[in-house]
Chains A and B, each alone.
Chain A
Amino acid sequence: MTTSGDCAVRIFGHRYLALVLRIYLGSIFIYASMYKISYPLEFAENIASYQIVPYWAVNLMAIVMPWTELICGILLVVGLRSKSAVCMIGGMLVLFIVAISLALVRNIPIGCGCFHSMEEPMTWTTLLRDFVWLAMAFHVYTFDSALQLERRFLIQIKDE
């Protein structure tokens, strides 16, 4: 029992699992940023529909956030500054969770606006999905060490 438990822990905490999750998360955010970058006006409406961001900051957020997602997604995929990137992604997920939670509590009938504007109204499932992604981000933060381009390069220099 103990052995199977240790094995499970080992598999759960394996760095390649973290690598898979890292690439997955990065890809999700890259994909999500595509729509937002292409349609900033719609994304601004989505942000505004949450009724959290002050009206004067909505457009600025709609312009900056997709690029932040894209950069963090790319950094995660290539393994560069992945810790910082996954922290930022985690932070954004926390922000999304808070926003979705508020929207659900306030019964605001809107889609989450995560991937495109013509989504179904968000539900608690949407919140759960974000929690899962947040857990993935935590896993990546904790166990990720494989195929990190930056670390590989720096360790080579250090060895010289």
Chain B
Amino acid sequence: MTETGSERQHDRDQALRTREDLDRKIFYLRTLLDTSTELAGIVQPQKMLDTFLLMTMGPLGITTGLAGLVNVRLGSGHITSRGLEPADLETVRVNIPAIGLRYFTEAGTAENLTSRTRTIAREGLGVTGLFPSPVQTLFLWDLSGEYAGFLALGEKLTNRPLDDGDEELLLNLIQILKGAMNHALSVLNIQQLNAELLKKNQELEEAMGELNASREELDRRVFHLKTLSDLSSELSPLLDMDRLLRTFLMISMGALGVGQGFVIVQDRKARKVRSSAVGPVHEPVLDGHGCEQLIYQAFDACEIKSLAPGTVSRMGELSFLRQHGIEIDVELAFFFVIDASFMGVFALGPNILASLYSREEIELIVTQISSFMVYLQNARAFETIGALNEDLTRRNEELRQTIADLTEARHRITLLERARAHLRSLVQQEVERVGRPGLLDCALILLLATAIGVLFNLAAPQGIPLVPETLLRQRSATVNPQSAMRLAEEGVAVLVDARPKELYDQKHIRGAVNIPISLFDIMYMMKLSQVDSESPIVVYGRHVSRRYDEELAFRLKQRDHENVRILEGGLQAWEAEGYPVQ
């Protein structure tokens, strides 16, 4: 029975111890569950350490405790304590870098750093002074990454050292803490990463903003450069000054969105004024004096008063422009100097948006005007070259004409010299010819005499026929000497001597009547008027120069004598027949 009772007691004790063990395990498990539950909702490491320390010290009845989270790389960390003096707490806080160095770096410990939890009893802490004296047990563990943690506990209320169960509980709690802490650190890392991401995003947005601003600036620069390029490409082929002004004005206004514009230049050397206006304005008409005054006033209104070549200066006072007939609401005007004798004014009205001109636009206009001045100078140089060329061409033409005149004059002189030599030769020949007679002279004299004589004879009332009329008349009938002799002897025929009286007196046929032609009318009346018209009349008398017989026979026929005959052979034939003469 005793045995049985002792056995029963033993069983009862056994059962009690088992129950106690079970209760204790249940307590531990509940503690672990509570701790796990508490830590699950916490993300802040500091608060987690606080909660963990409370949940650890409470169930184990420990009065003094210290928990910390160390960033090994930075040497910083968070600590929390219960039941520890503030001075001790401060000591530990100061020693955090040393703690990290001592327990969590490879150089500081002989043990390899692992993720396991290490337990160091008071005796193991040594005399480092890193932890205050109340600390009896130190638990060390590593977390993911660069973090590590420690838990320093003092004595229990029961002044009993931690048994295996306590230690196991603590290790389990630490495991839970590690898990929660890893989670919290992960969350914290995520939050930090998120914050960094947000910061980066913000920086990125700022960078994007700057980029956009840079791009806008770049676009504007590109636009300006393109405008300048267009201006250059449009102006470069132009050499006519008026077209140059017009094109520049159109391009500048187009680039800036301006509706009204005006430009004028004055060339003092050439005394020329050129202008161009665009917009709802009348083209201002400025003579040399008016333009001179405008240029002077523009110079006076300039911000930079300089006449150095290439100067482009913005004008401050603009109201005087209207006095010169420039009916533009001028917003912006520039005075520019190409050289001391070539200046101009460029004025622009408000832009389409009615906004003020920006600094960049003004810079663009200045640049455009600078380029424009180069082309103006080129155009003027071209005009000068053109004028010089024209003058040269004219001079060349004059020279060519002079050379031609000289050549012609030389040719003429040569001809004249030849003519002179020829004339001298002719004169020489004439002088020589004067000294001797010439057949040509004789022929000319004869020809002249013939021409004058014939013409005079034709015109004169006493003119004579060129050839004897008897030569053209029909020959009269003839009679031979024998028949004539017979007729004379029979007394039928009348013999008539037609020769002049002197020849008749020398010799004539016996019984012949002398009727000279020159005295025909008288002698006819005297000697033949009684002769019957039908009676035969034998006429003779001719020699080499005259045919008196033919003429007389013609005249007798005119007096109605029908039977008039001419003696064949004349007086010579009569004598040859031996007929009588006297």
Contacts and interface: CB of A to CB of B under 8 A. Distances in A.
Nearest to A45: B518
B467 A54 contact: no
A85 B449 CA distance: 12
A146 B112 CA distance: 168
Interface stretch (A7-15, A55-63, A126-134): A55-63
B435 interface: yes
A71 to B, nearest CB: 5
Given A68-B445, A84-B442, A158-B424, A109 B506 contact: yes
Interface stretch (B58-66, B100-108, B455-463): B455-463
Contact of B543 (A51, A72, A150): A51
B502 A56 contact: no
B468 A83 contact: no
B437 interface: yes
Interface residues of B, number: 45
Contacts of B518: 45
Nearest to B448: A71
Nearest to B457: A63
A154 interface: yes
Contacts of B464: 40-41, 44, 59, 62-63
B475 to A, nearest CB: 14
B445 A71 contact: yes
A68 B465 contact: no
Nearest to B432: A154
Interface string B60-100: 00000000000000000000000000000000000000000
Interface in B511-542: 518, 542
Contacts of A107: 506
Contacts of B466: 59-60, 63
B126 to A, nearest CB: 156
B430 A154 contact: yes
Given A54-B544, A84-B438, A84-B445, A154 B427 contact: yes
Interface string B428-446: 1011001111100110011
A55 B548 CA distance: 10
B500 interface: yes
Kindly name the residue among B437, B456, B463, B506 whose own CB sees the greatest number of chain A CB atoms within 10 A. B437
B446 A64 contact: yes
Contacts of A85: 441, 445
A67 B449 contact: yes
B576 interface: no
A63 B453 contact: yes
Interface in A119-160: 121, 141, 148, 150-151, 154-155, 157-158
Interface string A91-117: 000000000000000011110000000
Given A49-B500, A151-B431, A157-B427, A59 B441 contact: no
Contacts of B467: 56, 59-60
A38 B457 CA distance: 10
Given A64-B446, A84-B441, A154 B431 contact: yes
Contacts of B463: 40
B544 A51 contact: yes
B159 interface: no
Given A158-B424, A158-B427, A40 B452 contact: no
B545 interface: yes
B320 to A, nearest CB: 81
Nearest to A51: B543
Contact residues on A (Cβ < 8 Å of other chain), bracket? 35 or more
Contact of B545 (A39, A58, A66, A158): A58
A53 B544 contact: yes
Contact of A55 (B427, B465, B544): B544
A36 B329 CA distance: 114
Given A40-B463, A58-B546, A72 B453 contact: no
B471 A110 contact: no
A53 B545 contact: yes
A88 B466 CA distance: 23
A156 B298 CA distance: 83
A7 B258 CA distance: 124
A34 interface: no
B445 A155 contact: no
Nearest to B445: A71
Contacts of A148: 434
Contacts of A53: 544-545
A87 B468 CA distance: 30
Contacts of A67: 448-450, 452-453, 456
B457 A40 contact: yes
A37 interface: yes
Contacts of A41: 462, 464
Contacts of B446: 64, 68, 88
Interface of B: 423-424, 427-428, 430-431, 434-438, 441-442, 445-446, 448-450, 452-454, 456-457, 460, 462-468, 470-471, 500, 502-503, 505-506, 518, 542-547
22 contacts: A39-B462, A40-B457, A40-B460, A40-B462, A40-B463, A47-B545, A48-B546, A51-B544, A53-B544, A55-B545, A59-B464, A63-B454, A67-B449, A83-B434, A84-B442, A85-B441, A110-B502, A121-B502, A148-B434, A150-B430, A154-B434, A158-B428
Given A47-B545, A53-B545, A71-B449, 5 more contacts: A40-B460, A41-B464, A59-B465, A59-B467, A75-B445
By Cβ-Cβ distance, the 6 closest A-B pairs, closest first, are A84-B441, A48-B545, A67-B449, A68-B449, A67-B453, A87-B437
